[in-house]
Amino acid sequence: MKNALLFYGVYNRKGVSMDIFIQQVINGLSLGSIYALIALGYTMVYGIIKLINFAHGEIYMIGAYIGFFAITSMGLGFIPALIIAMIGCAILGMAIEKIAYKPLRKSTRIAVLITAIGVSLFLQYTTVFFLRPEPRIFPKILTDGRFNIFGLKAYITYQQLTIFIVTILLVVLLQYIVHFTKTGKAMRAVAFDKDAATLMGINTNNIISITFAIGSALAGAAGVMVGVYYSAINPLMGIMPGLKAFVAAVLGGIGIIPGAFTGGMIMGVIEAMVSGYGNSLYRDAVAFLILIIILIFKPTGLFGKSEREKV
Amino acid sequence: MLKLENINLYYDGIHALKDVSLEVPEGKVISLIGSNGAGKTSTLRTISGLSKPKSGKITFKDQDLLKVAPEKLVNMGIVQVPEGRRVFAPMSVYENLELGAYLRKDKDGIEKDLQRVFKRFPRLDERRKQMAGTLSGGEQQMLAMGRALMSGPKVLLLDEPSMGLAPILVREIFDIISELNQLGITILLVEQNAKMALSIADYAYVLETGKIVLEGKGEDLAESDEIQKAYLGG
Ligand SMILES: Nc1ncnc2c1ncn2[C@@H]1O[C@H](COP(=O)(O)OP(=O)(O)OP(=O)(O)O)[C@@H](O)[C@H]1O
Ligand SMILES: [Mg+2]
């Protein structure tokens, strides 16, 4: 009898911890989806012009605002708002590239990096100026509700499920574009060797532009989904997720698309675990601890081969 | 068909090409020889629009090439196989060949050329799915040439195709070049291997520190004292 009770107690405690664990994984994967979508843009742009586009977090923020206005002012639903935000961000990304980065194609990397930080601040404070600094509440456009998972006390909400499915669809679409379309092949060729790509008749400027467009569209999708998930958006919301997605891209191996996706998911899950088990105050610090650890032990990231730099 | 007149090219103050003039008539094999750093690659880069000369003129069938965007030259039939092959290492052999046909829209023609390349280079056929970066040096050279052929070239600019290859492969590459020429493709061949380059050339130029110092018929140059001493170890 005593034994049975003891057994029950252990079982129960185990059950509870399992519930919490699964719940944190679910929360982590939805947060990770957002990081993954942003990280993909970082990695694609880095892959093609070796630039850390520090304005990328702001593209995500503007995506959230475009989604917000599409829903509140135009009365659109989730999917149309998502598509409009993606198109808007694609145009914004191409414009940033054309105006800010293209003239510096032959400049030093530090000059371009400083410009990227400048663009980032410019976008933050223009948004503050025109759209006010205070947060806006994203309307609830996805029905509340949740599924129970495997009979455990863990749940996945409709929002989380939506984020997850949309992310998977976008990543599959991206992989299809990159691997099976002519443009995707040209993107890989330009990323590897611009002169050789030019000799094939590829217009490298166009391909760079398209890369910015695709990466920015993914960030725009992430922005709308974060609005739906966390319900509040503000002009400085891009800073932290931007930095974390950058860490995710480095974690997966910067320039490597599957790496960015995996890195984003890992970052999301780690962050959820830290919040769930430890202290949520530490969760931002953990992201940068991860960055430091990768840079020390495997600077090429999880998916990176040790020597891939070209001549 | 292709003509360079008084080309001057600078790299941050280095005068890499000094008044270079040369002519590539239709249907011929023209060789450009010279030692390391003579400016051979620079000459081809200038023709392909990858380097912009400070002065001079390049014409192709009387059209001013310096006004054409580099990626448009392929459409005109000016195709380069760059030094060091420059295949797209993380992409498959098949994808590399597809990229050669990037600007072409004639699906049937592309398929036909693809079969022709595979027939000419059976090793590429066997390795369609292999990553280009894992090919041997000789295979990479074949891929680079196959890729160029997929663009449907009228003039082929070849930058040291024999570099780093075993003698038997060098032979094969030169045979292929002659073969392509017989098919009607005009060739501008850059080489350090002067003997081979002169043996198949209708006409040749010798480049030294950015300047054309000698030119003449292939066989005449091969016999001249200067060439014997400087390049053929005679
Ligand atoms: N991008 C560059 N920047 C600065 N100098 C360059 C650059 N490319 C070439 N040069 C210089 O221009 C000169 C000619 O170089 P080029 O590559 O044309 O020679 P090459 O005849 O092809 O030599 P090799 O047989 O070794 O390939 C060399 O002195 C080289 O150092
Ligand atoms: Mg050279």
CA of B23 to the centre of ligand 1 (A): 21
Tell me the domain boundaries of chain B: 2-231
Residue B231: phi, psi to the nearest 5? Answer: -120, -20
- What is the C-alpha separation between B227 and A175, in angstroms, rounded? 54
Contact check, Cβ <8 Å, A196/B74 = no
> What domain range includes position A179?
31-237
Question: Which residues in chain A (202-231) have CB-CB distances under 8 A to chain B?
Answer: 202-204
Which residues in chain A touch residue B103, judged by CB atoms under 8 angstroms apart? 200-201
What's the pTM?
0.91
- What is the C-alpha separation between B152 and B185, in angstroms, rounded? 9
Contact check, Cβ <8 Å, A202/B99 = yes
- What is the C-alpha separation between A183 and B231, in angstroms, rounded? 45
B91 in A contact zone (CB under 8 Å)? yes
Q: Dihedral of CA B60/B61/B63/B64: which sign?
A: positive
Which architecture does CATH list for B2-231? 3-Layer(aba) Sandwich (3.40)
B76 in A contact zone (CB under 8 Å)? no
Contact check, Cβ <8 Å, B82/A186 = no
- Is the residue at A248 inside a domain? no
- Is the residue at A145 inside a domain? yes
Ligand nearest to the CA of residue B38, numbered in listed order: 1
- B218-221, long-range: CB within 8 Å, 24+ apart, which pairs? B218/B31
pLDDT of residue A286 exceeding 80, the answer is: yes
Residue A231: phi, psi to the nearest 5? Answer: 65, -10
Please classify residue B73 by burial: count the beta carbons closer than 10 Å to its beta carbon, then call 0-12 exposed, 13-18 middle and 19+ buried: buried
CA of B42 to the centre of ligand 2 (A): 7
Give the distance from residue B224's alpha carbon to the nearest chain A alpha carbon, in angstroms.
35
Contact between B204 and B34 under an 8 Å Cβ cutoff? The reply is no
Ligand nearest to the CA of residue B39, numbered in listed order: 1
How many domains is chain A partitioned into structurally? 1
Q: pLDDT digits over A251-271, tens only?
A: 999 999 999 999 999 999 999
pLDDT of residue A10 exceeding 90, the answer is: no
* ipTM of this predicted structure: 0.94
> Which atom of ligand 1 is found nearest the CA of B210?
14
Chain A residue nearest residue B157, CA to CA: A199
Contact between A241 and A34 under an 8 Å Cβ cutoff? The reply is yes
- What is the C-alpha separation between A266 and B151, in angstroms, rounded? 44
- Is the residue at A180 inside a domain? yes
Residue type, A214: I
> Which atom of ligand 1 is found nearest the CA of B35?
25
In 3-state terms, what secondary structure has residue B104? coil
CA of B104 to the centre of ligand 2 (A): 29
- In the block, tokens 């863990």 appear at A154
Give how far the C-alpha of residue A139 lies from the chain's centroid of Cα atoms, to the nearest Å.
22
Q: What is the pLDDT along chain B (234 residues), one digit of tens a residue?
A: 999 999 999 999 899 999 999 999 999 999 999 999 999 999 999 999 999 999 999 999 999 999 999 999 999 999 999 999 999 999 999 999 999 999 999 999 999 999 999 999 999 999 999 999 999 999 999 999 999 999 999 999 999 999 989 999 999 999 999 999 999 999 999 999 888 899 999 999 999 999 999 999 988 888 887 777 777 665
- Is the residue at A25 inside a domain? no
pLDDT for the residue numbered A4: 43
H-type alpha helices, chain A: 2-49, 56-72, 78-96, 109-131, 158-180, 182-192, 194-199, 204-230, 239-252, 257-277, 283-297
Least confident window among A35-39, A47-51, A274-278, B81-85:
A274-278
Tokens found for residue B124 = 């590429």
Contact between B177 and B160 under an 8 Å Cβ cutoff? The reply is no
Neighbours of A151 (CB within 10 A): 6
Q: pLDDT digits over B67-109, tens only?
A: 999 999 999 999 999 999 999 999 999 999 999 999 999 999 9
- Is the residue at A258 inside a domain? no
- What angle, 0 to 180 degrees and rounded to 10, lies between the N-to-C axes of helices A283-297 and A239-252? 30
Tokens found for residue A66 = 């475009």
In 3-state terms, what secondary structure has residue B29? strand
Contact check, Cβ <8 Å, B99/A195 = no
Which residues in chain A touch residue B75, judged by CB atoms under 8 angstroms apart? 201
